[in-house]
Amino acid sequence: MPSLYDIQAAFAAAIFEQDPSRAEGLIVGTDSGERLAVYYNNVYRNFLEALRAVYPVVERLVGERFFAHAASRYIHDTPSPRGDIQCFGASFPAFLASFPPSSALGYLPDTAALEWCMHEVFHAADHSPLSLSQLAILTETDCSMLRFRLHPACRLLASDFPVLKIWQVNQPDLGIDETVDAQAGGELLLIRRPGLAVEVEPLERGEFAMLQALFDGAGVDDAYGFALQADHDFHLGEFIQRRIVDATLVDFSVGPGASEMESRRRTAHGRVSP
């Protein structure tokens, strides 16, 4: 006797592949194809509307028919990995990069990537800010192994195209008709949610390199090295202070001495930031 999981998997396969034979024995009656079609149409419509909600600028750039065609292929080829529909569409930018009909639109995948970053940032968890006074407990040894953590509602995006400008001029309430030169140069962006609204901030090379290294888990010393490679005039102290104040950096730890550091933080502040 098949398990509940096997039954659900077979039914899902029958829906997405539009193949009633995959659900043989699970549907009563002779019109199994018509019954499955009802489920397929509902599922497809829900996924299509989810993609439209996340990627309105992409749809505006390519038009409704092209977007529906691309979305249909993506929905068919990319089963949702989770039950939360808000998570569906994460790989749509990569799909567009390999989708032959959009091969001439080199800026499209990165524009989609910006929209997905904004979507993720909007739904990301909040986090309490980090006080500058918490750094006062650091010893010189601690500083050499310091690692900062970015706010959960932060993402970084590097593009060879002016995707922020493309996104801005394709907002429906802009009220102007402006053309963007897709070859005008790339952008380094920080997407963040300081309050209730998502903001996109262009970055200089040094700051982007620093934030990217910290995001990847590098210590401050190594991240600072990457920042200096990108910008010889990068100022570390100014960066740390500004990014703590604006809540881009919201937590920190140290390497081998982490347990000792956490003990001092508990003593100094009565709690440990999540």
User: What are the structural domain ranges in the chain?
Assistant: 1-105, 127-274
Q: What is the largest CA-CA distance in the chain?
A: 76
pLDDT in tens, 111-162: 999 999 999 999 999 999 988 887 777 776 667 778 999 999 999 999 999 9
Q: What share of the chain is helix, strand, coil (3-state, %, to 5)?
A: 55, 10, 35
pLDDT: is 274 or 103 the higher one?
103
DSSP type of residue 181: -
Which range is least confidently modeled, 22-26, 51-55, 187-191, 259-263?
A: 259-263
Q: Are 47 and 88 in contact (CB under 8 A)?
A: yes
Bridge partners (DSSP) of residue 41 are none
The C-alpha atoms of residue 274 and residue 270 are separated, in whole angstroms, by 13
Two tokens at 147? 């690692």
The C-alpha atoms of residue 88 and residue 133 are separated, in whole angstroms, by 40
Distances (CA, A) of 238 to 51, 75, 116, 226, 241: 40, 46, 30, 16, 5
Bridge partners (DSSP) of residue 156 are 190
